[in-house]
Chains A and B, each alone.
Chain A
Amino acid sequence: MSKSRYMDLFVDIARLLKKYGPEPFEELAGQIRDGRFLNDLLILVETSAIAGRRRTRPVGGKQKDQRESKGLGKLLKQCEDQDPDKARALQKVYESLLSKRLLPTLRQIRDFAKDNGLPPIKATSRDKAIVPLVRGMISMPFEQIVSVLERDSHFEEKGDRTLEGWTNVILSRRGRGPREEK
């Protein structure tokens, strides 16, 4: 490989490293050392490139998203028949996610799924991660969904972590001992 090609590859890797962090790269580096894996990967990429060329009408991402949203709507409808409260809570979660009031970044969505034992979110954009997340949440108990909504709404409320908020907490306690509360 020429020096400039090496440099290009290096810059590409640096960009991806910035995007994904070092961990996935360390794992990949281990796998790439295996020659068979690299070979299989090349075959896979070439095959999918041929299959891609053969496709007559590309299925747009938008169409796929619409299909997924419809699928979710169906699932929520089924959920509504069995547990209307849960379906309402999930609908609220869905709306809050769409408006970015809840879990405003892809990273937060991924962490939330991990923390709650939901299937890992593989989507690479926040918009695409919403439907898989809500679909995964259907298996969660109603109480857990409600507590998620409550806790996360606290984080979103303005003033919850501001200096003004803490100043109110501290100054409102002046002249009042804990025993007087009891």
Chain B
Amino acid sequence: MAVKVSLINMKGGVGKSTLTINLAWHFAAYGNWDKKVLVVDLDPQFNSSQYLLGVKDYEAILKANKPTVWDIFEQGTRTPSGKATIADPRSAIHKYQNFSDGSCIHLIPSRLELALSLKSPRQNQERHLSRLIKQVEGDYDLILIDCAPTESMLTTAAYLSSDWLLVPVKPEYLSTIGLPLLVNSMQDFEDDYGTSNLRLAGVVFNAASEYLPEEALAKNTVRKIAKQNKWHVFENEVEYSRSYPKGAREGQPIFRTTYSRWNKVANFERFANDFAGRVGL
């Protein structure tokens, strides 16, 4: 059974998609991990889909009317021609890369129209994703869900589909404010759905540079909130590197770029291994 992890923070721009894709690549293709990884892009801004696919492949999926995460949530919607359904839930999974050793990176892409599903959510719509994941989780070792940075039906869908939450935090003032919002969101979920198996893998400082006083202040605030809520904070931080945005533009993880410094790659590796230990991968 797959380990299911949602990358979530109520603040945008903290590096959720970059972290998601780099983790996916790391566990599928770096060292001897050789894991089967499914990425679920649960953000209408579809950054994870952009990172992996590029314009041509993404357009090809839309032009061929292949199902996306939008279709998963819109199942059961009544239309003039009947109820919308996906004949085979697996058809929403795009096989981005299969490696010869059996490991893979697959993707359920997102699309802009997912935002429309949020305008008038229907009853039980939030359960559609977890139903699909239950059907396919035996095919994977790790399922990474890249969440949208707002509280909505999609957040609940992510909670229902996950075993763990990973919270990337950029150590700066505005980014830290996303954390109490997340505390609220998780408490609301527990109130509405009772106890669940959802656990917090931890908070990871993303794009950290260590030296700035402003950053140190933000980190202390986050550590304080984490302590109050008994949250784990990863000791290994993901340091800032220009290779991350550049790699995203080229569709490459940091360890496959030709320009990244080895110490930045090693830094990411340390965090990824720490994360793997935490979630039992």
Contacts and interface: CB of A to CB of B under 8 A. Distances in A.
A161 B57 CA distance: 11
Nearest to A173: B112
Contacts of A143: none
Nearest to A111: B256
B118 interface: no
A157 B60 CA distance: 15
Given A170-B112, A181-B62, A107 B266 contact: no
A26 to B, nearest CB: 10
A8 to B, nearest CB: 22
Interface in A139-182: 151, 154-155, 157, 159-162, 165-166, 168-170, 173, 177-179, 181-182
A154 B54 contact: yes
Interface in B60-118: 62, 65, 70-71, 79, 84, 97, 99-101, 111-113, 116
B59 interface: yes
B112 A161 contact: no
B262 A166 contact: no
A41 to B, nearest CB: 24
Given A115-B100, A166-B50, A107 B56 contact: no
Given A155-B54, A170-B112, A21 B262 contact: yes
Contacts of B249: 161
B55 interface: yes
Contact of A179 (B57, B79, B101): B79
Chain B CB within 10 A, most for which of A18, A117, A169: A169
Contacts of A47: none
Interface string B212-255: 00000000000000000000000000000000000001110000
Nearest to B96: A151
A181 B65 contact: yes
B250 to A, nearest CB: 7
B250 A161 contact: yes
Given A159-B55, A161-B54, A182-B65, A107 B113 contact: no
Contact of B97 (A115, A154, A161): A115
Q: For chain B, which range describes its interface: under 10, 10 to 19, 20 to 34, or 35 or more residues? A: 20 to 34
A116 interface: yes
A39 interface: no
Q: State the main secondary structure of chain A at its contact with B.
A: helix
B258 interface: yes
B53 to A, nearest CB: 9
B58 interface: yes
A155 B251 contact: yes
A116 B256 contact: no
B55 A166 contact: yes
A157 B251 CA distance: 13
Contacts of B112: 170, 173
A108 B258 CA distance: 8
Given A107-B256, A178-B113, A117 B55 contact: no
B24 to A, nearest CB: 14
Contacts of A18: 262
Interface of A: 17-18, 21-22, 105, 107-108, 111, 114-117, 151, 154-155, 157, 159-162, 165-166, 168-170, 173, 177-179, 181-182
29 contacts: A21-B265, A22-B262, A22-B266, A105-B258, A107-B258, A108-B256, A111-B256, A114-B29, A115-B97, A115-B99, A116-B100, A117-B101, A151-B57, A154-B54, A155-B250, A155-B251, A161-B54, A161-B55, A161-B249, A162-B55, A165-B54, A169-B55, A169-B58, A170-B112, A173-B113, A177-B113, A178-B113, A181-B65, A182-B65
Given A117-B100, A151-B57, 17 more contacts: A18-B262, A105-B258, A108-B256, A108-B258, A111-B256, A114-B29, A115-B99, A117-B101, A155-B54, A159-B55, A160-B55, A160-B56, A161-B55, A165-B54, A165-B55, A168-B55, A181-B62
User: 9 nearest interchain CB pairs?
Assistant: A117-B100, A165-B55, A21-B262, A154-B56, A160-B54, A105-B258, A178-B113, A160-B55, A115-B99
